[in-house]
Amino acid sequence: MCVGHAASYPVKWSCKVEVFGAKIHPGQLVHADKHGFIVISEDEQEKLLEAVIFMDTNECNTMINAARFAFGKTTERILRSMDAASQEFDRNAQEKYGSRGEW
């Protein structure tokens, strides 16, 4: 039975773990997705937070803004608007970080 099985493996908190040979310590920030994971070092966390806020704001001001006003437009007009928003997103990311954005 699942309940009995799970009870034999208690969950532990605030302890070091090892994942595919990488040691992860309590309090470390980890990003994981279907491709793998990365541990964000303490000195990079502030820069990461700044970048996340910038990219979220950039997306809200470009892509999401273009999509928000798509209702009632022709498909061609929507695609032109999204393309322009994508180019603006890229320009903003290039200007801030010297590389292209995700689009």
Domain membership of residue 91 (yes or no) is yes
Domain assignment present for 102: no
Residue 102 has pLDDT above 70, yes or no: no
Angle between helices 42-59 and 75-97 (to 10 degrees): 150
Block residue for tokens 């969950």: 11
pLDDT computed for residue 79 by the predictor: 96
Residue 21 belongs to domain spanning: 2-97
Does the residue 51 lie in any domain?
yes
What does the DSSP 8-state code read for residue 61? I
C-alpha 102/C-alpha 94 separation (Å) is 11
The total of structural domains in the chain comes to 1
Residue 60 lies in a domain: yes
What confidence tens digit (pLDDT) does each residue in 17-60 have? 998 899 999 999 998 999 999 999 888 988 888 999 999 999 99
